[in-house]
Amino acid sequence: MTSTVPALGTRTAEGSALQAVLLDMDGTLVDTEGFWWDVEVEIFAGLGHTLDDSWRHVVVGGPMTRSAGFLIEATGADIALAELSVLLNQGFERRIDRALPLMPGAARLLAELSEYEIPTALVSASHRRIIDRVLTSLGPHHFALSVAGDEVPRTKPHPDPYLAAAAGLGVDPARCAVVEDTATGVAAAEAAGCHVVVVPSVAPIAPAVRRTVVKTLEDVDLTFLRGLIAA
């Protein structure tokens, strides 16, 4: 786990139970879930295999070991997991170097959290090398710390990344609001005991206890997040 700026502590507005906001990256703040799939399609085409579009729902949001491993097994491609992981990261980096579109509402939400000094962490299953490149566009000053998928013993859907972020901020996971876009990320946040806001990016996700589903990040602001914890 690498801190991007000094931790902001646990200050919140008087009377608010919200202690921190923990944000997923791909598909939540940046419109890149499709980038990963495009890269996977391109690499496997070079290996002589066509990916079934239905597999996209299987690999979205998960750790690279799971998604890459699934695709190797599903296609029977003659490539090692380690080699494929390198190719996927390189292909993704080429794409985000060309363009890195933010999700609607992302810039506004980050600016609001910074303005009110809400401790905020970026929590992603992507590797550190990817996160650091994306942070240059998102603005590292918006985040007290970031947690990468290759920095925890178990990444999403396990709770480890969100527990690590809460511990790094010195806050109670039960008083954190998480914003996610995939079932894998939601499972991780819920297992950590956090309240979850879901903005589905690829596959639909149903509401549940301590889980609120919205159509777009534009529906999410600080008042909304504080209301979730107060409830």
Q: Are 3 and 155 in contact (CB under 8 A)?
A: no
Distance, CA of 165 to CA of 3 (rounded, Å):
10
- Cα separations in angstroms, 123 against 75, 117, 131, 162: 30, 18, 9, 7
Q: What is the pLDDT of the chain when averaged over all its residues?
A: 89
Catalytic residue among 26, 38, 97, 150: 26
132 is catalytic: no
26 is catalytic: yes
Q: Is the peptide bond before 157 cis (omega within 30 degrees of 0)?
A: yes
Answer whether residue 17 shows pLDDT above 50: yes
pTM here is: 0.81
Categorize the per-residue pLDDT at 123 as very low, low, confident or very high, splitting at 50, 70 and 90.
very high
Other Cβ atoms within 10 Å of 11 Cβ, number? 10
**Phi/psi at 120 (5° precision):** -135, 135
For tokens 């991780």, name the residue: 188
